[in-house]
């Protein structure tokens, strides 16, 4: 694979006459594909990739959640492998991503498959395989699925060409300064310019040819989460994107129009530790189920988050990209009609959903039909010699169910112990006499609000649970 830092994308940019603002850019399908691929990136991947590019990168409470996960001792996970699944979440659109001109997830390697390592395995006639090395014991009981199987690469290429192309789009698109995308046809351009008050291209606009590379693409991803003017800053190099990293520091209103979802989940009960004199939330004490929910946020792609929150994440540019893709005629302008739905509601990879008691309605992709023949694993075009897929989690969770955890307002998770609690209170100069407990039930509604707040606020639990905290406080005051 060529060095991604050498990849270049040519764009035709239309500026205002003063050359101070990008009105729109016209891009070919290769650039638009990379832009749309942002929707397939899990939150954990975004943090990991952008912190390689800029170690100071942070947005909302997601980066602190990721940092806390990395620091949490592996003894609290069922295996080290489960922790690594969260730190390096896979994507269900892996085949497509490898056909992009630039795949910014530098660890997104082709999937490897593993079979039983025992030479005496009794399941040779019906092979069991896993994509998670050494994390599953074979049904024969003699070893784990840890022996790599050779894969017929030609079969995956044929499969990709037949129906799972990595090229999402088929034509040029126009991209606005705030990441709205439209097929580049005359009617769309005229309507777009008219809405901006442009009636004469010659008198009111200037054309510019620009080339964007790896750095600009990374800035584009970062800016879509933080900045207030995106393409203008990147193309005209007016301001550094990271100068807007504190935009949401003071907290943000959580969307009140969260999408209505029909999903049954058992509520998770937590204890909120509140400062009595200020009614401020200090931290929350939760069990493995609550922590499991928080860590699972890192595995959800941006497109899946947009779907859960009804296209209103308060990340302006991501919302615009999602909304305008949703309004695009997929049969006419995308590679396949169903490509749009793969981007608008991407599923989690095989093995990533949690137990039946998960708080959010997350679904896994179906495993590919594969067969094992003549020592090679390949895409199956018949039912002969099919293999069985094994998931490492089944009904189990990532986190062991034997501990309690402390979760700070910005989602730093640590093992709960009295010394850490007292240390936190001392650090904040909160005396024990000024502390009270409040029991809260976290269901689907609260989980969605925490998800929404985590994207934009460093006071995630306070903002996400604000309605619930006020309701409980009001009931307590009525009893007095």
Q: pLDDT: is 150 or 414 the higher one? A: 414
Query: What pLDDT shows up at residue 361?
Result: 87
34 token code pair: 């990379």
HEC readout, 148-192: ECCECHHHHHHHHHHCCCCCCECCCEEEECCCCEEECCHHHHHHH
Contact 81/135 with Cβ under 8 angstroms? yes
CB 370 within 8 Å of CB 377? yes
Q: Average of pLDDT values for 431-435?
A: 94
pLDDT value at residue 165: 42
| pLDDT surpassing 90 at residue 302 | yes
The yes-or-no verdict on residue 250 having pLDDT over 60 is no
Please tell me the predicted confidence (pLDDT) of residue 267.
83
Backbone angles phi, psi at 58, to 5 degrees: -155, 145
What pLDDT was estimated at residue 244?
43
- Write out the chain in H/E/C secondary structure: CCCHHHCCEEEEEEEECCCCCEEEEEECHHHHHHHHHHHHCEHHHHHHHHHHHCCCCCCCCHHHHHHHHHHCCHHHECCHHHHHHHHCCCCCCHHHHCCCCCCCCCCCCCCCCEEECCCCCCCCCCCEEECCCCCCECCCCCCEEEEECCECHHHHHHHHHHCCCCCCECCCEEEECCCCEEECCHHHHHHHHHHCCCCCHHHHEEEEEEEECHHHHHHHHHHHHHCCCCHHHHHHCCCCHHHHCCCCCCCCCCCCCCCCCCCCCCCEEEEEEEECCCCEEEEEEECHHHHHHHHHHHHCEHHHHHHHCCCCCCCHHHHHHHHHHHCCCHHHHECCCCHHHHHHCCCECCCCCCCCCCCCCCCECCCCCEEEECCEEEECCCCCCECEECCCCCCCCCECCCCCEEEECCCCEEECCHHHHHHHHHHCCCCHHHEEEEEEEECHHHHHHHHHHHCCCCCHHHHHCHHHHHHHHHHHHHHC
Span 201-248, pLDDT tens digits? 888 899 999 999 999 999 999 999 986 667 888 888 766 555 444 444
Closest residue by Cα to residue 85 from 37, 45, 127: 45
Residues 127-132 have a mean pLDDT of 79
pLDDT tens-digit map of 36-60: 999 999 999 999 999 998 898 998 9
Average pLDDT on 474-478 reads: 71
Contact 461, 407 (CB under 8 A): yes
Strand partners, 415: 405
- Comparing C-alpha atoms, which of 101, 105, 235 is closest to residue 175? 235
Mean pLDDT of the chain: 83
SS (H, E, C) 282-295: EEEEECHHHHHHHH
The arithmetic mean of pLDDT across residues 337-363, rounded, is 80
Task: Flag whether pLDDT at 255 surpasses 60.
Answer: no
Q: Which range scores top for mean pLDDT: 96-100, 164-168, 310-314?
A: 310-314
Q: Specify the pairing of strand 128-129 against strand 388-389.
A: parallel
pLDDT at 163 over 50: no
**Burial grade of 93 (CB within 10 A; 0-12, 13-18, 19 or more):** buried
Q: pLDDT per residue over 167-214, tens digit each?
A: 577 788 999 999 999 999 999 889 988 988 888 888 889 999 999 999
Per-residue model confidence (pLDDT) at position 138? 86
Give which of 466, 401, 458, 25 is closest to 247, Cα–Cα.
458
Q: Which pair of tokens denotes residue 181?
A: 């995308």
The residue-averaged pLDDT of 401-417 equals 94
- Is 288 a residue whose pLDDT tops 50? yes
């Amino acid at each position: 694979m060529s060095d991604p830092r050498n990849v270049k994308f040519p764009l035709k940019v239309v500026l205002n006459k003063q050359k101070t603002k990008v009105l729109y850019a016209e891009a070919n399908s290769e650039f638009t594909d990379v832009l749309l691929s942002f929707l397939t990136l899990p939150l954990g991947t975004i943090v990991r990739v952008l912190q390689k590019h800029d170690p100071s990168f942070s947005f909302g409470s997601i980066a602190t959640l990721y940092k806390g996960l990395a620091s949490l001792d592996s003894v609290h996970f069922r295996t080290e492998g489960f922790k690594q699944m969260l730190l390096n979440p896979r994507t269900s659109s892996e085949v497509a991503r490898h056909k992009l001109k630039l795949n910014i997830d530098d660890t997104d390697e082709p999937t490897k498959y593993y079979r039983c390592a025992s030479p005496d395995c009794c399941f040779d006639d019906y092979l069991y395989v896993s994509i998670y090395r050494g994390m599953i014991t074979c049904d024969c009981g003699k070893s784990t699925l840890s022996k790599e199987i050779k894969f017929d690469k030609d079969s995956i290429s044929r499969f990709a060409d037949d129906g799972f192309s990595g090229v999402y789009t088929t034509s040029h698109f126009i991209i606005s300064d705030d990441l709205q995308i439209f097929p580049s046809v005359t009617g769309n351009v005229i309507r777009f310019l008219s809405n901006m008050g442009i009636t004469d291209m010659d008198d009111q606009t200037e054309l510019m040819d620009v080339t964007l590379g790896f750095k600009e693409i990374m800035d584009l991803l970062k800016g879509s989460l933080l900045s207030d003017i995106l393409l203008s800053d990147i193309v005209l190099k007016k301001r550094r994107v990271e100068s807007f990293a504190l935009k949401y520091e003071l907290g943000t209103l959580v969307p009140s129009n969260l999408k209505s979802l029909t999903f049954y989940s058992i509520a998770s009960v937590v204890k909120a530790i509140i400062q009595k004199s200020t009614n401020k939330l200090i931290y929350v004490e939760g069990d493995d189920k609550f922590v499991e929910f928080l860590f699972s946020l890192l595995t959800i792609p941006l497109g899946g988050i947009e779907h859960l929150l009804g296209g209103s994440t308060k990340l302006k540019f991501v919302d615009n990209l999602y909304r305008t893709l949703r309004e695009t005629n997929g049969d006419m302008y995308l590679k396949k009609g169903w490509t749009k739905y793969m981007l608008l509601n991407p599923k989690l990879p095989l093995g990533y959903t949690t137990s039946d008691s998960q708080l959010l309605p997350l679904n896994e992709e179906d495993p590919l039909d594969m067969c094992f023949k003549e020592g090679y694993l390949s895409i199956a075009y018949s039912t002969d010699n099919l293999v069985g897929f094994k998931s490492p989690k089944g009904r189990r969770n990532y986190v062991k169910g034997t501990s309690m955890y402390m979760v700070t307002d910005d989602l730093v998770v640590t093992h709960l112990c009295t010394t850490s609690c007292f240390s936190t209170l001392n650090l904040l100069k909160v005396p024990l006499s000024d502390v009270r407990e409040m029991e809260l039930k976290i269901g689907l509604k609260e989980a969605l609000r925490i998800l929404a707040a985590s994207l934009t606020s460093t006071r995630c639990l306070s903002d996400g649970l604000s309605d619930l905290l006020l309701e409980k406080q009001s009931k307590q005051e009525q009893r007095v």
